[in-house]
Amino acid sequence: MPEKLIHRTILAIVCLVALLGGAALAQAPLPVDDAFRLLVRRDADAGLRLEWQIASGHYLYRDKILVAGDKAPAVATPPGETKDDPNFGPTEIYHDHLTARLGEAPPSGSLRITYQGCAEDGICYPPVTKALDLATLELSEVETGFGFGATREVATVTPASLAATGEPALATAAPAAPDPTSLMTGNLAWTLAAFLGFGLLLSLTPCVFPMIPILSGMLARSGESLSARRGFGLSSVYVVAMALAYAALGLVAAWSGQNLQVVLQAPWALGLMAAVFTLLALSMFGLFELQVPARWTGWIAGRTQGRAGSIAGAAALGFGSALIVGPCVTPPLAAALLYVAQTGDGARGAAALFALGLGMGLPLIVFGTFGGRFLPRSGLWLVRVKQAFGLVFLGLAAAMLLRALPEDYALPVWGVGALGVAAFLGAFDALDAATGWGRRLQKSAGLALAIYGATLIVGFAGGATDPLRPLAFLAGGRRRPGVRVAGAGGSVGSRLRPGPVHGECRRTPHSCLLYR
Amino acid sequence: MNRRFFLGLAAAGLAGSSAFVLAGTRPAMAKAVDVNAVLHDPEAPTGGNPKGDVTIVAFFDYNCPYCKTSAADLARVVKEDGKIRLVYKDWPILTEASVQGAQFALAAKYQGKYETAHNALMGISGRRSSGDAMLEAIKASGVDMNRLQADLTSHGQKISALMQRNHAQALGLGMNGTPTYLIGSFRTSTLDYRGFKEAVAEARRRQTAK
- pLDDT (tens digit, 9 = 90+) per residue, A239-248? 888 888 888 8
Higher-confidence position of A313 and A304: A313
Contact A144, A32 (CB under 8 A): yes
Query: What is the number of H-type helices and E-type strands within chain A?
Result: 16, 14
Asked if A159 is an interface residue toward chain B (Cβ–Cβ < 8 A), one would say: yes
Dist. CA A317–CA A297, nearest whole Å: 11
pLDDT at residue B71 in the model: 92
Chain A: closest CA distance from residue B174 (Å):
6
pLDDT at A314 over 70: yes
Contact A130, A112 (CB under 8 A): yes
* Contacts (Cβ under 8 Å, ≥6 apart) of A199: A355, A356, A357, A358, A359, A360, A361, A362
pLDDT at residue B20 in the model: 32
pLDDT at A387 over 50: yes
Q: What is the pLDDT of residues B98-134, one digit of tens each?
A: 888 999 999 999 999 999 999 999 998 876 788 888 9
DSSP-derived 3-state class of residue A395: helix
pLDDT at A111 over 80: yes
Higher-confidence position of A435 and B69: B69
Give the C-alpha distances (Å, rounded to integers) separating B52 from A411, B118, B184. 49, 21, 11
- Name chain A contacts of B66, Cβ cutoff 8 Å: 118, 122-124
Higher-confidence position of A396 and A422: A422
Contact A355, A199 (CB under 8 A): yes
- Smallest CA–CA distance from B10 into chain A, residue: A515
The gap from C-alpha A73 to its chain's centroid, in whole angstroms, comes to 30
pLDDT at residue A178 in the model: 31
Instruction: Give the containing element (helix H, strand E) for B178.
Output: none
pLDDT at A112 over 60: yes
Asked if A23 is an interface residue toward chain B (Cβ–Cβ < 8 A), one would say: no
Dist. CA B34–CA B10, nearest whole Å: 12
How does the average pLDDT of chain A come out, rounded?
68
Dist. CA A509–CA A30, nearest whole Å: 9
Chain A: closest CA distance from residue B133 (Å):
10
pLDDT at residue A277 in the model: 76
* Contacts (Cβ under 8 Å, ≥6 apart) of B209: B1
Per-state percent for chain A, helix, strand, coil, to nearest 5 = 50, 15, 35
**Domain ranges within chain B, ordered by starting residue:** 1-32, 33-209
Q: Residue A275, exposed/middle/buried by CB under 10 A (0-12, 13-18, 19+)?
A: middle
Residue B3 — pLDDT band, cuts 50, 70, 90? very low
pLDDT at residue B56 in the model: 94
Dist. CA B134–CA B62, nearest whole Å: 9
**Across-strand partners of A237?**
none
Residue type, A159: P
The candidate with the shortest Cα–Cα distance to B34, out of B169, B160, B164, B158, is B169
Asked if A32 is an interface residue toward chain B (Cβ–Cβ < 8 A), one would say: yes
The candidate with the shortest Cα–Cα distance to A232, out of A370, A360, A357, A361, is A370
Chain B: closest CA distance from residue A475 (Å):
22
- Smallest CA–CA distance from A496 into chain B, residue: B199
**SS3 per-residue string spanning B54-106:** EEEEEEECCCCHHHHHHHHHHHHHHHHHCCEEEEEEECCCCCHHHHHHHHHHH
pLDDT at residue A318 in the model: 76
CATH number of B33-209, picked from 3.30.70.3420, 3.30.420.40, 3.30.70.141, 3.40.30.10: 3.40.30.10
Dist. CA A204–CA A216, nearest whole Å: 18
pLDDT at residue A344 in the model: 66
Dist. CA A326–CA A206, nearest whole Å: 8
Contact B156, A154 (CB under 8 A): yes
Within the 44-63 window of chain B, which residues sit less than 8 Å (CB to CB) from chain A? 61
B149 and A157 in contact by Cβ < 8 A?
yes
The full DSSP string for A415-482 is: HHHHHHHHHHTTTTS---TT--HHHHHHHHHHHHHHHHHHHHHHHHHTT---TT-TTGGGGT------
pLDDT at residue B73 in the model: 92
Dist. CA A162–CA A147, nearest whole Å: 18
Higher-confidence position of B142 and A427: B142
Residue A289 — pLDDT band, cuts 50, 70, 90? low
Classify strands B186-188 and A75-76 as parallel, antiparallel or unpaired.
unpaired
Q: What is the pLDDT of residues A458-516, one digit of tens each?
A: 888 887 777 777 787 776 544 333 222 222 222 222 222 333 333 334 433 344 444 33
Task: HSE, CB side, 13 Å, CA atoms: give it for residue A300.
Answer: 22
Classify strands B54-60 and B84-90 as parallel, antiparallel or unpaired.
parallel
Nearest to A511 among B97, B164, B188 (CB): B188
pLDDT at residue B28 in the model: 31
**Across-strand partners of A104?**
A47
Instruction: Give the containing element (helix H, strand E) for B159.
Output: helix B145-172
Asked if A509 is an interface residue toward chain B (Cβ–Cβ < 8 A), one would say: yes
Per-state percent for chain B, helix, strand, coil, to nearest 5 = 60, 10, 30
Nearest to B185 among A167, A493, A516 (CB): A516
Q: Residue A463, exposed/middle/buried by CB under 10 A (0-12, 13-18, 19+)?
A: middle
Nearest to A515 among B13, B156, B202 (CB): B13
What percent of chain A is modeled with pLDDT above 70? 60
Contact A172, A331 (CB under 8 A): no
Nearest to A154 among B103, B175, B188 (CB): B103
Dist. CA B115–CA A100, nearest whole Å: 42
Lowest mean pLDDT among A39-53, A54-68, B5-19, B27-41: B5-19
Alpha helices by DSSP H, A134-227: 159-165, 188-204, 211-221
- Smallest CA–CA distance from B188 into chain A, residue: A510
Higher-confidence position of A360 and A310: A360
Instruction: Give the containing element (helix H, strand E) for B47.
Output: strand B46-48
> What's the average model confidence in pLDDT over B147-174?
88
pLDDT at B80 over 90: yes
The candidate with the shortest Cα–Cα distance to A428, out of A411, A460, A400, A453, is A453
Higher-confidence position of A74 and A455: A455
Q: What is the pLDDT of residues B55-72, one digit of tens each?
A: 999 999 999 888 998 999
**Interface residue of B103, B132, B136, B188 to substitute, partner A, most A CBs within 10 Å:** B188
The gap from C-alpha A339 to its chain's centroid, in whole angstroms, comes to 5
Residue B51 — pLDDT band, cuts 50, 70, 90? very high
